[in-house]
Structure 1
Amino acid sequence: MERLLSEIRSCQVCKSHLPLGPRPVVAAHPNARIVIIGQAPGTKVHQSGIPWDDPSGKQLRGWLNILDSVFYDESKIALMPMGFCYPGRGKSGDLPPRPECAPLWHNALLTSMPSLELIILIGTYSQQYYLGKTAKATLTETVKSYQEYLPKYFPLPHPSPRNRFWQSKNPWFGQEVVPVLQERVAHILELDKSST
Protein backbone atom coordinates (compact mmCIF):
# COMPACT_ATOMS: atom_id res chain seq x y z
CA MET A 1 0.00 0.00 0.00
CA GLU A 2 2.79 2.45 0.90
CA ARG A 3 4.45 1.87 -2.46
CA LEU A 4 1.14 2.33 -4.29
CA LEU A 5 0.38 5.59 -2.46
CA SER A 6 3.90 6.81 -3.20
CA GLU A 7 3.39 6.03 -6.92
CA ILE A 8 0.05 7.88 -6.96
CA ARG A 9 1.47 10.92 -5.16
CA SER A 10 4.31 11.19 -7.65
CA CYS A 11 2.06 10.66 -10.71
CA GLN A 12 2.73 13.08 -13.61
CA VAL A 13 0.41 11.54 -16.25
CA CYS A 14 -1.86 14.60 -16.64
CA LYS A 15 0.80 17.22 -15.94
CA SER A 16 0.26 19.12 -19.20
CA HIS A 17 -3.49 19.48 -18.48
CA LEU A 18 -3.21 20.78 -14.91
CA PRO A 19 -3.08 24.58 -14.48
CA LEU A 20 -1.63 24.36 -10.95
CA GLY A 21 0.51 21.31 -11.71
CA PRO A 22 0.15 17.80 -10.28
CA ARG A 23 -0.50 17.32 -6.57
CA PRO A 24 -2.42 14.05 -6.17
CA VAL A 25 -4.52 13.99 -3.00
CA VAL A 26 -5.42 10.59 -1.52
CA ALA A 27 -5.65 8.87 1.88
CA ALA A 28 -5.87 5.08 2.21
CA HIS A 29 -4.91 2.19 4.49
CA PRO A 30 -5.20 -1.60 4.16
CA ASN A 31 -7.57 -1.71 7.19
CA ALA A 32 -10.02 0.95 5.94
CA ARG A 33 -13.67 -0.11 6.25
CA ILE A 34 -15.21 2.78 4.30
CA VAL A 35 -13.99 4.58 1.19
CA ILE A 36 -15.34 7.94 0.07
CA ILE A 37 -14.98 8.58 -3.66
CA GLY A 38 -15.46 12.23 -4.52
CA GLN A 39 -14.84 14.31 -7.64
CA ALA A 40 -11.49 16.12 -7.58
CA PRO A 41 -9.70 18.48 -5.19
CA GLY A 42 -10.56 22.18 -5.34
CA THR A 43 -7.94 24.92 -5.02
CA LYS A 44 -8.02 24.93 -1.20
CA VAL A 45 -7.38 21.18 -1.02
CA HIS A 46 -4.72 21.48 -3.73
CA GLN A 47 -2.91 24.02 -1.53
CA SER A 48 -3.20 22.07 1.74
CA GLY A 49 -2.87 18.55 0.32
CA ILE A 50 -5.56 17.44 2.82
CA PRO A 51 -8.63 15.76 1.30
CA TRP A 52 -11.97 17.49 1.95
CA ASP A 53 -10.21 20.34 3.78
CA ASP A 54 -12.89 22.85 2.78
CA PRO A 55 -16.55 23.79 3.44
CA SER A 56 -17.69 20.76 1.40
CA GLY A 57 -15.72 18.51 3.74
CA LYS A 58 -17.28 20.12 6.78
CA GLN A 59 -20.76 19.50 5.36
CA LEU A 60 -19.83 15.90 4.47
CA ARG A 61 -18.62 15.20 8.01
CA GLY A 62 -21.95 16.60 9.24
CA TRP A 63 -23.88 14.21 6.99
CA LEU A 64 -21.77 11.29 8.23
CA ASN A 65 -22.06 12.50 11.84
CA ILE A 66 -18.39 11.87 12.55
CA LEU A 67 -15.57 13.92 14.07
CA ASP A 68 -12.64 15.18 12.03
CA SER A 69 -10.40 12.75 13.96
CA VAL A 70 -12.45 9.78 12.70
CA PHE A 71 -12.82 11.15 9.16
CA TYR A 72 -9.07 11.60 8.85
CA ASP A 73 -8.17 8.23 10.39
CA GLU A 74 -7.26 6.44 7.17
CA SER A 75 -7.29 3.05 8.93
CA LYS A 76 -11.06 3.62 9.18
CA ILE A 77 -11.96 5.83 6.20
CA ALA A 78 -10.11 6.04 2.88
CA LEU A 79 -10.51 9.16 0.76
CA MET A 80 -9.96 8.96 -2.98
CA PRO A 81 -11.34 11.20 -5.70
CA MET A 82 -12.21 10.38 -9.30
CA GLY A 83 -9.45 12.79 -10.29
CA PHE A 84 -6.57 13.07 -7.82
CA CYS A 85 -5.43 16.56 -8.85
CA TYR A 86 -7.14 19.94 -9.19
CA PRO A 87 -8.40 19.92 -12.81
CA GLY A 88 -8.70 23.66 -13.34
CA ARG A 89 -11.59 26.05 -13.69
CA GLY A 90 -14.36 26.01 -16.30
CA LYS A 91 -17.20 28.40 -17.10
CA SER A 92 -19.47 27.26 -14.27
CA GLY A 93 -17.04 25.98 -11.61
CA ASP A 94 -14.21 23.47 -11.57
CA LEU A 95 -13.62 21.32 -14.64
CA PRO A 96 -14.56 17.61 -14.51
CA PRO A 97 -12.06 15.22 -12.89
CA ARG A 98 -9.32 14.11 -15.26
CA PRO A 99 -10.44 10.83 -16.90
CA GLU A 100 -7.02 9.16 -16.58
CA CYS A 101 -6.99 8.73 -12.78
CA ALA A 102 -9.76 6.25 -12.02
CA PRO A 103 -8.78 3.60 -14.62
CA LEU A 104 -5.13 4.03 -13.69
CA TRP A 105 -5.32 3.83 -9.88
CA HIS A 106 -8.74 2.97 -8.43
CA ASN A 107 -8.72 -0.80 -8.86
CA ALA A 108 -5.25 -1.12 -7.34
CA LEU A 109 -6.32 0.99 -4.36
CA LEU A 110 -9.60 -0.84 -3.79
CA THR A 111 -8.00 -4.29 -3.98
CA SER A 112 -5.41 -3.12 -1.41
CA MET A 113 -8.24 -2.56 1.09
CA PRO A 114 -9.75 -6.02 1.67
CA SER A 115 -11.79 -4.93 4.73
CA LEU A 116 -13.92 -2.40 2.84
CA GLU A 117 -17.61 -2.61 3.70
CA LEU A 118 -18.99 0.57 2.14
CA ILE A 119 -18.12 2.74 -0.87
CA ILE A 120 -19.67 6.21 -0.64
CA LEU A 121 -20.07 7.70 -4.11
CA ILE A 122 -20.23 11.48 -4.12
CA GLY A 123 -21.53 13.23 -7.21
CA THR A 124 -22.38 12.17 -10.74
CA TYR A 125 -18.86 11.26 -11.91
CA SER A 126 -18.26 8.54 -9.31
CA GLN A 127 -21.84 7.28 -9.55
CA GLN A 128 -21.72 6.87 -13.31
CA TYR A 129 -18.31 5.21 -13.14
CA TYR A 130 -19.17 2.71 -10.42
CA LEU A 131 -22.90 2.17 -10.85
CA GLY A 132 -22.76 2.07 -14.64
CA LYS A 133 -26.11 1.20 -16.21
CA THR A 134 -27.76 0.89 -12.79
CA ALA A 135 -27.29 4.63 -12.19
CA LYS A 136 -30.49 6.56 -12.82
CA ALA A 137 -31.00 9.34 -15.38
CA THR A 138 -30.23 12.06 -12.79
CA LEU A 139 -28.21 12.34 -9.61
CA THR A 140 -31.42 13.10 -7.69
CA GLU A 141 -33.01 9.84 -8.83
CA THR A 142 -29.84 7.86 -8.07
CA VAL A 143 -29.61 9.29 -4.54
CA LYS A 144 -33.33 8.70 -4.02
CA SER A 145 -32.81 5.04 -5.02
CA TYR A 146 -29.86 4.60 -2.65
CA GLN A 147 -31.31 1.39 -1.14
CA GLU A 148 -30.90 -0.37 -4.49
CA TYR A 149 -27.13 -0.01 -4.21
CA LEU A 150 -26.69 -1.11 -0.61
CA PRO A 151 -24.88 -2.73 1.08
CA LYS A 152 -21.86 -2.01 -1.17
CA TYR A 153 -22.50 1.51 -2.45
CA PHE A 154 -24.12 4.63 -1.00
CA PRO A 155 -24.67 7.46 -3.54
CA LEU A 156 -24.71 11.05 -2.27
CA PRO A 157 -24.97 14.52 -3.82
CA HIS A 158 -21.92 16.74 -3.61
CA PRO A 159 -21.83 18.50 -0.21
CA SER A 160 -20.68 21.78 -1.75
CA PRO A 161 -22.27 24.95 -0.31
CA ARG A 162 -23.36 25.57 -3.93
CA ASN A 163 -25.73 22.61 -3.54
CA ARG A 164 -27.78 24.27 -0.78
CA PHE A 165 -30.54 24.93 -3.32
CA TRP A 166 -30.65 21.22 -4.20
CA GLN A 167 -30.98 20.32 -0.53
CA SER A 168 -33.76 22.84 0.07
CA LYS A 169 -35.58 21.50 -3.01
CA ASN A 170 -35.16 17.88 -1.86
CA PRO A 171 -35.91 17.83 1.89
CA TRP A 172 -36.33 14.04 1.78
CA PHE A 173 -32.53 13.78 1.54
CA GLY A 174 -31.95 15.21 5.03
CA GLN A 175 -35.03 13.55 6.48
CA GLU A 176 -34.73 10.04 5.02
CA VAL A 177 -31.31 9.41 3.49
CA VAL A 178 -28.89 11.10 5.92
CA PRO A 179 -30.17 9.17 9.00
CA VAL A 180 -29.66 5.84 7.17
CA LEU A 181 -26.18 6.95 6.08
CA GLN A 182 -25.27 7.90 9.66
CA GLU A 183 -26.57 4.61 11.01
CA ARG A 184 -24.65 2.57 8.41
CA VAL A 185 -21.40 4.48 9.03
CA ALA A 186 -21.76 4.23 12.82
CA HIS A 187 -22.44 0.49 12.54
CA ILE A 188 -19.34 -0.13 10.39
CA LEU A 189 -17.09 1.99 12.62
CA GLU A 190 -18.49 0.25 15.70
CA LEU A 191 -17.64 -3.11 14.12
CA ASP A 192 -14.17 -1.74 13.49
CA LYS A 193 -13.86 -0.75 17.15
CA SER A 194 -14.93 -4.18 18.41
CA SER A 195 -12.43 -5.99 16.20
CA THR A 196 -9.39 -4.11 17.52
Structure 2
Amino acid sequence: MHVILVIAIPLLVAIIYQGWRSTRKRQLFVRRLFWFELAVWFAISCYALLNGAYWLLILITIPFLDSARSTFRKSNEKDLLQNFVDDPRHCGQCEYDLTGNVSGTCPECGWNIPDENTMIEDDNWTKWWIKWEIGYLEHPQKQLHFHALLGLVSIAIGPWILLSDPHHPYFGYTLFLVALFALLFLNCAINTIRIWAYIKKQRDSSPD
Protein backbone atom coordinates (compact mmCIF):
# COMPACT_ATOMS: atom_id res chain seq x y z
CA MET A 1 0.00 0.00 0.00
CA HIS A 2 2.92 2.31 0.73
CA VAL A 3 4.23 1.68 -2.79
CA ILE A 4 0.82 2.56 -4.22
CA LEU A 5 0.78 5.85 -2.33
CA VAL A 6 4.30 6.67 -3.53
CA ILE A 7 3.03 6.22 -7.09
CA ALA A 8 -0.37 7.83 -6.61
CA ILE A 9 0.66 11.05 -4.87
CA PRO A 10 2.97 12.30 -7.67
CA LEU A 11 0.26 11.24 -10.13
CA LEU A 12 -2.29 13.33 -8.26
CA VAL A 13 0.06 16.32 -8.35
CA ALA A 14 0.48 15.85 -12.10
CA ILE A 15 -3.28 15.66 -12.63
CA ILE A 16 -3.77 18.90 -10.71
CA TYR A 17 -0.92 20.57 -12.58
CA GLN A 18 -2.36 19.72 -15.99
CA GLY A 19 -5.38 21.87 -15.14
CA TRP A 20 -3.20 24.94 -15.61
CA ARG A 21 -1.98 23.91 -19.06
CA SER A 22 -3.54 25.10 -22.30
CA THR A 23 -6.25 22.88 -23.78
CA ARG A 24 -4.20 21.85 -26.80
CA LYS A 25 -1.23 20.72 -24.71
CA ARG A 26 -3.52 19.17 -22.12
CA GLN A 27 -5.14 16.88 -24.69
CA LEU A 28 -1.81 15.17 -25.39
CA PHE A 29 -0.74 15.33 -21.75
CA VAL A 30 -3.93 13.64 -20.52
CA ARG A 31 -3.55 10.78 -22.99
CA ARG A 32 -0.06 10.07 -21.68
CA LEU A 33 -1.17 10.50 -18.10
CA PHE A 34 -4.00 8.00 -18.58
CA TRP A 35 -1.59 5.07 -18.81
CA PHE A 36 -0.16 6.01 -15.41
CA GLU A 37 -3.72 6.17 -14.10
CA LEU A 38 -4.30 2.68 -15.49
CA ALA A 39 -1.24 1.33 -13.67
CA VAL A 40 -2.29 2.91 -10.37
CA TRP A 41 -5.87 1.68 -10.80
CA PHE A 42 -4.60 -1.87 -11.41
CA ALA A 43 -2.34 -1.79 -8.34
CA ILE A 44 -5.06 -0.45 -6.03
CA SER A 45 -7.59 -2.91 -7.48
CA CYS A 46 -5.30 -5.85 -6.69
CA TYR A 47 -4.86 -4.55 -3.15
CA ALA A 48 -8.62 -4.08 -2.73
CA LEU A 49 -9.44 -7.58 -4.00
CA LEU A 50 -6.79 -9.28 -1.87
CA ASN A 51 -7.96 -7.47 1.27
CA GLY A 52 -11.69 -7.62 0.63
CA ALA A 53 -11.95 -3.83 0.37
CA TYR A 54 -14.57 -3.92 -2.35
CA TRP A 55 -15.76 -0.40 -1.51
CA LEU A 56 -12.29 0.83 -2.44
CA LEU A 57 -12.49 -1.00 -5.77
CA ILE A 58 -15.82 0.67 -6.57
CA LEU A 59 -14.52 4.00 -5.34
CA ILE A 60 -11.57 4.10 -7.73
CA THR A 61 -13.24 2.38 -10.70
CA ILE A 62 -15.99 4.96 -11.24
CA PRO A 63 -13.66 7.99 -11.64
CA PHE A 64 -11.24 5.83 -13.64
CA LEU A 65 -13.94 4.97 -16.19
CA ASP A 66 -14.91 8.64 -16.41
CA SER A 67 -11.26 9.52 -16.98
CA ALA A 68 -11.04 6.91 -19.76
CA ARG A 69 -14.14 8.36 -21.42
CA SER A 70 -12.84 11.93 -21.36
CA THR A 71 -9.32 10.89 -22.41
CA PHE A 72 -10.29 9.18 -25.66
CA ARG A 73 -13.24 11.32 -26.74
CA LYS A 74 -12.95 13.35 -29.92
CA SER A 75 -12.38 17.09 -29.71
CA ASN A 76 -15.61 19.06 -29.87
CA GLU A 77 -16.31 22.67 -30.86
CA LYS A 78 -15.74 23.83 -27.31
CA ASP A 79 -12.21 22.35 -27.37
CA LEU A 80 -11.48 24.14 -30.65
CA LEU A 81 -12.73 27.44 -29.25
CA GLN A 82 -10.62 26.97 -26.13
CA ASN A 83 -7.58 26.25 -28.31
CA PHE A 84 -8.17 29.55 -30.12
CA VAL A 85 -8.67 31.48 -26.87
CA ASP A 86 -5.40 30.06 -25.53
CA ASP A 87 -3.54 30.88 -28.76
CA PRO A 88 -5.45 33.37 -30.98
CA ARG A 89 -2.61 33.56 -33.50
CA HIS A 90 -3.29 30.00 -34.65
CA CYS A 91 -6.36 28.14 -35.89
CA GLY A 92 -8.15 26.27 -33.13
CA GLN A 93 -8.60 23.25 -35.38
CA CYS A 94 -5.44 22.83 -37.47
CA GLU A 95 -2.99 25.27 -35.80
CA TYR A 96 -2.48 27.22 -39.04
CA ASP A 97 -0.87 30.64 -38.49
CA LEU A 98 -3.65 33.25 -38.74
CA THR A 99 -1.43 36.32 -38.55
CA GLY A 100 -2.89 39.01 -40.83
CA ASN A 101 -5.99 36.97 -41.65
CA VAL A 102 -9.14 39.14 -41.73
CA SER A 103 -11.43 36.81 -43.69
CA GLY A 104 -12.93 35.17 -40.60
CA THR A 105 -12.12 31.70 -41.95
CA CYS A 106 -8.99 29.58 -41.72
CA PRO A 107 -7.58 29.21 -45.28
CA GLU A 108 -6.10 25.82 -44.40
CA CYS A 109 -9.09 23.91 -42.99
CA GLY A 110 -12.05 26.29 -43.38
CA TRP A 111 -12.73 26.62 -39.65
CA ASN A 112 -14.78 29.70 -38.80
CA ILE A 113 -12.70 32.01 -36.64
CA PRO A 114 -14.75 33.24 -33.65
CA ASP A 115 -15.04 36.96 -33.03
CA GLU A 116 -13.80 38.66 -29.88
CA ASN A 117 -17.28 38.66 -28.33
CA THR A 118 -17.66 34.88 -28.40
CA MET A 119 -18.44 33.56 -24.93
CA ILE A 120 -16.67 30.40 -23.82
CA GLU A 121 -16.71 28.48 -20.58
CA ASP A 122 -13.36 28.65 -18.79
CA ASP A 123 -11.90 25.19 -18.10
CA ASN A 124 -10.72 26.44 -14.72
CA TRP A 125 -13.99 27.96 -13.54
CA THR A 126 -14.27 25.43 -10.69
CA LYS A 127 -11.02 26.74 -9.16
CA TRP A 128 -12.66 29.26 -6.83
CA TRP A 129 -9.33 30.08 -5.15
CA ILE A 130 -8.11 31.61 -8.43
CA LYS A 131 -11.21 33.62 -9.33
CA TRP A 132 -14.43 33.71 -7.31
CA GLU A 133 -16.90 35.12 -9.83
CA ILE A 134 -17.89 32.83 -12.70
CA GLY A 135 -17.66 34.52 -16.09
CA TYR A 136 -19.73 32.19 -18.24
CA LEU A 137 -21.33 28.73 -17.98
CA GLU A 138 -22.86 26.84 -20.88
CA HIS A 139 -25.21 24.74 -18.75
CA PRO A 140 -25.50 26.37 -15.32
CA GLN A 141 -28.52 24.34 -14.17
CA LYS A 142 -26.81 21.03 -14.97
CA GLN A 143 -23.66 22.19 -13.17
CA LEU A 144 -25.73 23.24 -10.16
CA HIS A 145 -27.46 19.86 -9.92
CA PHE A 146 -24.21 17.95 -10.51
CA HIS A 147 -22.20 19.77 -7.83
CA ALA A 148 -25.05 19.63 -5.31
CA LEU A 149 -25.49 15.88 -5.88
CA LEU A 150 -21.75 15.18 -5.76
CA GLY A 151 -21.51 17.15 -2.52
CA LEU A 152 -24.30 15.11 -0.93
CA VAL A 153 -22.74 11.84 -2.06
CA SER A 154 -19.28 12.81 -0.78
CA ILE A 155 -20.57 13.85 2.64
CA ALA A 156 -22.42 10.52 2.89
CA ILE A 157 -19.53 8.30 1.76
CA GLY A 158 -17.06 9.67 4.30
CA PRO A 159 -18.94 8.49 7.44
CA TRP A 160 -19.88 5.24 5.69
CA ILE A 161 -16.21 4.40 5.07
CA LEU A 162 -15.32 5.35 8.63
CA LEU A 163 -18.06 3.22 10.20
CA SER A 164 -17.83 0.25 7.85
CA ASP A 165 -14.55 -1.06 9.24
CA PRO A 166 -13.15 1.05 12.11
CA HIS A 167 -10.70 -1.70 13.16
CA HIS A 168 -8.99 -2.06 9.80
CA PRO A 169 -5.17 -2.39 10.16
CA TYR A 170 -4.77 0.51 7.76
CA PHE A 171 -7.13 2.77 9.68
CA GLY A 172 -4.88 5.73 9.00
CA TYR A 173 -5.56 5.37 5.28
CA THR A 174 -9.27 5.20 6.08
CA LEU A 175 -9.02 8.54 7.85
CA PHE A 176 -7.10 9.88 4.89
CA LEU A 177 -9.94 8.88 2.53
CA VAL A 178 -12.51 10.43 4.87
CA ALA A 179 -10.53 13.68 4.85
CA LEU A 180 -10.43 13.62 1.04
CA PHE A 181 -14.21 13.24 0.84
CA ALA A 182 -14.62 16.05 3.35
CA LEU A 183 -12.51 18.30 1.12
CA LEU A 184 -14.52 17.18 -1.91
CA PHE A 185 -17.73 18.11 -0.10
CA LEU A 186 -16.31 21.52 0.82
CA ASN A 187 -15.26 22.16 -2.78
CA CYS A 188 -18.68 21.11 -4.12
CA ALA A 189 -20.48 23.24 -1.55
CA ILE A 190 -18.44 26.32 -2.46
CA ASN A 191 -18.96 25.81 -6.19
CA THR A 192 -22.69 25.20 -5.68
CA ILE A 193 -22.91 28.60 -3.99
CA ARG A 194 -20.94 30.21 -6.83
CA ILE A 195 -23.14 28.61 -9.51
CA TRP A 196 -26.30 29.67 -7.68
CA ALA A 197 -24.95 33.24 -7.51
CA TYR A 198 -24.16 33.12 -11.24
CA ILE A 199 -27.69 31.92 -12.10
CA LYS A 200 -29.22 34.61 -9.89
CA LYS A 201 -27.06 37.28 -11.53
CA GLN A 202 -28.10 36.11 -15.00
CA ARG A 203 -31.77 36.21 -14.04
CA ASP A 204 -31.48 39.67 -12.50
CA SER A 205 -29.71 41.07 -15.56
CA SER A 206 -32.08 39.55 -18.12
CA PRO A 207 -34.85 41.82 -19.44
CA ASP A 208 -38.37 41.13 -18.16
TM-score by length of 2: 0.34
Structure of higher CA gyration radius:
2
More strand by share: 1
